[in-house]
Chains A and B, each alone.
Chain A
Amino acid sequence: MVDWRLYEPLINFARKRSMWIVAFCTGCGGIEMPPLMTSRYDLERFGMMPNPAPRMADLFLITGYVTPKTLKRIIITYEMQPDPKYVLAHGSCPLNGGIYWDAYNAIKHLDKYIPVDVAIAGCMPRPEAVMDGIKKIMDLIETGKADGWKRYKENYEYYKKNQDELFGEGWREKTARRWIPWLMGREKKREEE
């Protein structure tokens, strides 16, 4: 067998320099993405590409506040991404609620539900600050410290407990039934009977 540890520096360099972003913009930080992607602060220099499909994405940007409704989608999208995957939280809202600190319908601490690798403070962070966060996550990937996907697997009980506390038991199946057509049909048939 080939000892893949030998190629680890090359693979880490490739992972660092080719992070594909899943295009899932929550809250107001989505508006910072167009200047980051276009000619002013060209992120494609670092090999980053916005990508509509979660299956081939590596980096998940949480751009702004998170409501319970979005959080369901965020968790399912996060679990669809193949390992290794990284999460970058924008702004103060995913950190501590930000200006929604006393809102009944906003998630105050995102890292109770999914692991966050790098958080950028600010309301909203300027594109320069986002690029600084991206630089930080690149350094973490190169040294192997961006291990959010490992933490999610190891502490899955903790994350699942928090998610179930918020949404109730069996929320995945309920949500999936509303999205997936053949499950939806089966559900309707059961109702008719």
Chain B
Amino acid sequence: MIETALKALFILLYATFVGFMFMGIIRIVTARIHRRVGPPIYQPILDTIKLLSKKSNITHGLIYDFGILYAVGATILAVMFIPLGSIGVLRAYGDLILITFLLEIPMLGIMFAAMSSGNPYAGIGAQRALLTLLAIQVPLGFAIVALAEFYGTFSTYEIVMAQQTMGWSIFHFPLLLAAIAYDLVLQAMFGKEPFDIMIAPGEISLGPMVEFGGKHMGLLQIQHAIALFAETLFFANIFLGGGVVTAFSSSILNTIAGLAVLLVKQVAVLLIATFMGAIFPRFTIDQAAKFYWKWPTIIAALGAVLASL
């Protein structure tokens, strides 16, 4: 019991810390692409401390407060279901569909909070975010079906274990197609550039985020950090072989090596998203929906068909 609680606490702290580092990496890498120096890597932590230490705070009612907590809670739950190397609390129940569902739930919490504030920009942002959510469902579903068809299971942990004997998923052709589609979907889940329609800073004033300030925004920063960690971790687990190391005799060394391997894979996923985000301009909402329902859907559906043959 205590062991499980300690594991959960470790996962939570590790996910938050590494998530904040990921946010710092995104800002530094984007700055270097712009030929700027960029902020220090711990900048998101300073931002969060500043936001949480604001003296005055504005609330727009119960739903406004509850939506934020809902988003943070759903993200923490999602990270508990994903196997993190050899550490896992609920990984035995980590169903592919459940995890993808839990990774999208936080968006709904933020929508609740944003719409209850009554700001028109928040309304437009929520509408766009829901449309993006709708657009990514189709390729996401096909990618998940391709994985399940190929391995014959929906369990994330079993897929990770199967990859230890069969090789990484992306080295099989049908799953490579699914991985490409999933990576395009990931771009919208991160809210990075071609698909950052919902927060569009110069256009609709950060969309859903426009009314959040002080402690609400601080909690959302923490949520964003954990969500970045969870999304990259899920991709690294199901497509890049996870982080199972059995080279050492001591189990602690194996765990640390597994975390390091996972970290390298997660940073690789993150850097692909950052590079794509830094060089592409923004789509409009109808272009994004058309794009998602055309190319990633075709690729992922082809993958699913090939996997089932």
Q: B-contacting residues of A (Cβ < 8 Å)? A: 10-11, 13-15, 17-18, 20, 38-39, 42, 44-47, 51-53, 55-56, 58, 81-84, 181
Contact A44–B35 (Cβ < 8 Å): no
Contact A39–B50 (Cβ < 8 Å): no
Identify A53's interface contact among B55, B57, B210, CB under 8 A.
B210
Smallest Cβ distance from B57 to chain A, in angstroms?
A: 6
**Which residue on chain B has the smallest CB distance to residue A84?**
B55
Interface 0/1 of B30-62, CB less than 8 Å to A: 010011111110010011011101111110000
A-facing residues in B171-222 (Cβ within 8 Å): 201-202, 205-206, 209-214, 217
Contact B57–A82 (Cβ < 8 Å): yes
Contact A44–B27 (Cβ < 8 Å): yes
Take A44-B31, A53-B210, A55-B212 as given contacts and tell me if A15 and B36 are in contact as well, using a CB distance cutoff of 8 Å: no
Smallest Cβ distance from B241 to chain A, in angstroms?
A: 35
Q: A-contacting residues of B (Cβ < 8 Å)? A: 27, 31, 34-40, 43, 46-47, 49-51, 53-58, 120, 201-202, 205-206, 209-214, 217
Identify B43's interface contact among A18, A38, A82, A83, CB under 8 A.
A18
Identify B50's interface contact among A14, A52, A81, CB under 8 A.
A14
In the assembly, what is the distance between CA of A83 and CA of B215, in Å?
12
Take A44-B31, A53-B206 as given contacts and tell me if A82 and B55 are in contact as well, using a CB distance cutoff of 8 Å: yes
Identify A47's interface contact among B36, B47, B202, B217, CB under 8 A.
B47
Contact A44–B36 (Cβ < 8 Å): yes
Contact A42–B58 (Cβ < 8 Å): no
The 8 A-B residue pairs whose C-beta atoms are closest, nearest first, are A55-B213, A14-B49, A52-B205, A42-B36, A83-B55, A14-B50, A83-B56, A56-B213
Smallest Cβ distance from B276 to chain A, in angstroms?
A: 21
In the assembly, what is the distance between CA of A11 and CA of B37, in Å?
24
Contact A44–B38 (Cβ < 8 Å): yes
7 A/B residue pairs, CB under 8 Å, sorted by A: A14-B50, A18-B47, A20-B47, A39-B34, A47-B40, A56-B212, A82-B54
Smallest Cβ distance from B114 to chain A, in angstroms?
A: 12
In the assembly, what is the distance between CA of A44 and CA of B212, in Å?
22
Known contacts A44-B31, A52-B201, then 11 further A-B pairs from the complex at CB < 8 Å, ordered by chain A residue? A11-B53, A13-B46, A14-B53, A15-B53, A17-B46, A42-B37, A42-B38, A44-B27, A47-B46, A52-B206, A55-B217
When distances are taken between beta carbons in the complex, the residues of chain A under 8 Å from B214 are 55-56, 82
Identify A84's interface contact among B27, B39, B54, B202, CB under 8 A.
B54
**Which residue on chain B has the smallest CB distance to residue A17?**
B46
Take A55-B212, A82-B213, A82-B214 as given contacts and tell me if A45 and B37 are in contact as well, using a CB distance cutoff of 8 Å: yes
